[in-house]
Structure 1
Amino acid sequence: MDRFLFFPGLPLLLLISWLFPCAEGKAKELVVIDQDGAGPGGSDMQSLLLALHSPEVELLGITVVSGDCWREEGIAHTLRLLEIAGRREVPVVGGAVYPLLRTRKETEIWEELFGKLFYKGAWNKAYLGKELHPPLSFPEDPFRPPAPVEGEPALRPSPRFAADFLIETARNHPGEVTLLALGPLTDIALACRLDPEFSQRIKKLVLMGASIDPRTSDPEWSTNPRFEFNFFWDPEGAHIVLTSPWKRLEAYPVDAGIQAVMRRELLSAVSEGNSAVGRYLNQYAWIGLPMWDEVAVAGWLDPSLILQKETLFLDVDVSHGPGYGNTLTWKPGSEPGLGQQRVEVIRQIDPKRFYRFFRERISQTPSERRTAE
């Protein structure tokens, strides 16, 4: 203790800092996002921006799976977004190109038997019934994506594979990582099967998925309310994830996601000024479409945005019949007990508070974010 003779208060300060390491500020949430990366703009990219603009989040990486678009296209949009947002340090890791079992041909046969699907993601021939700028294209070759209209990224993705990255990250930070699953669940299903302890190492799985009883006249759900694209794209992958033993599982179904829509007033508010992100959104945001993924990220960041939730057991219909890929639900006590997990299902959010939250986060300048940190 001789070295402290001239600083009698120093040992006490050291003791306080050792006992209360977060006394000067709350520790950041360690996060990995698994996303299908359609863009530019739109719910996939805007949810990434929301996480990137949140000072309480330490984004360890983004894994990209096929779904709304093919993996290679999603990787390009994600890398370019990171460049525009000034976050080149975040690794981007490619994941599964195809679902575990479902194929384009099988889906076409299914449509002949049970009726045409409104939306099929990367398998669509065209995007039906929506006006987008720029319009989405759906190339049949997954490995020849169209040139990104927002510009080719100079950044390159990690050479690793998404499932390996997820497993290693969970092992390096056991019980500390929140996994935001905002696309089809193929990558996460592979991680669960490759490492049976993976799900137990994750602090919380937050997924944008499922559909229960959305109040909408949109033809995508009006006659098939249990349809939800992320589950539909890879039903077997979703089934594996929903029957794996997570510590905590929170789901934002279509019911919640359609309650917030990108409006011109919101776009004007978040794209004011001359920031690179503002210019990006002003040019590429998808006006009039629900903010599914942004709602999931915002609700996890600020639970006060949630007005109604309930505990349910979830699974996916994998029978390859007319309900293939649809959401299955049970009240506690009526579940079949085949591995289904308790899920906190968010049924209703506060749209006004959500819009304010989104606007405040996205409108922050880099200097304001550093100050908040």
Structure 2
Amino acid sequence: MVLYESLQLAHKCILNSFYGYVMRKGSRWFSMEMAGIVCHTGANIIREARKLVEQIGKPLELDTDGIWCLIPASFPENVTFKLCNHKRSSVTVSYPGAMLNALVYEGFTNHQYHTLEKDGSYSKSSENSIYFEVDGPYQCMVLPASKEEGKKLKKRYAVFNLDGSLAEMKGFEIKRRGELNIIKHFQGCVFKTFLNGSTLEETYKAVAGDADHWLDILHSHGVNLSDEELFDLISENRSMSRKLEDYGAQKSTSISTAKRLAEFLGDDMVKDAGLACMFIISKYPIGSPVTERAIPVAIFKSDAKVRSHYIRKWTKQMDFDEDTDIRDMLDWDYYIERVGSCIQKIITIPAALQGISNPVPRVAHPDWLQNKIRSK
């Protein structure tokens, strides 16, 4: 099994990368026709599969190579045929899979597949190597909403098995490097909480508890946390793909962090590519863009006099001294907005679109959604 799984993964990687390679102009096997027909055929198969699923249940998420759907529990998952021969008494067929494969066979079989024979002639046959495989059933699929009206977020979902274990997760911040840890911690617990509750209201009440826990930490300015725990939750870690000098006049939080690291560590420490920039966002200087308010975390581990000198310089707050609390410096509104944005996508906007009043009142709905609720 391990051998077959690894071979299947190897073939998938090779085929996927080759498909991308043939689309690249200048590649040895460049063929826009080949890339085009793969794209076109795949899109048509998924479109037809969606039409079929819509007659039975509800499509939830579409991708180039699969469809996630909600099918009524009464719909047969498998069908067993009794056989007349003595070798096998019955054969079981996946009913949704068989329906989809019949559709693919009917509409997408190549009836003019030519094979070169030894005598130089070609034999013609019908070939079709595309098959749907049915996974599941699953207990739950969590899909986030977009903050913009009329838009949907693609390739983001969390799927849970019937026993409550995570089957698959795609696209969320929890899987990305460099994201705020407080958002990762929130997402680490909130998806599992969607399995709680026997009604929609109870489920949203349960997940709102997770959101409120992390919002309380930010609204209380991390009063019960040590400085180390606070840094762990709110610091961001970005890697510089190029050398600092290569960015020129570009502006970003990581570029500002790298420049400030160079100020107190020396240019030699930041000259190479791949520099890890760990920073927090200060509210000072007030009115400055976020890119100019990034402060490297490394400064807080330096000598008290060095720390206070550079913090006064970067924040332009001359009254900051060696005893200044990090909490007085942080842009709490920035962090509340970042976490609030994540809560909107996962909890509050989906709740509103399902007719549930805002389960996290501290996170306001976007204007377009407020107007939609009022008009309803």
TM-score, normalised to structure 2, is: 0.20
Instruction: Name the structure where helix makes up a greater proportion of residues.
Output: 2
Structure 1 or 2, whichever has the larger Rg, is: 2
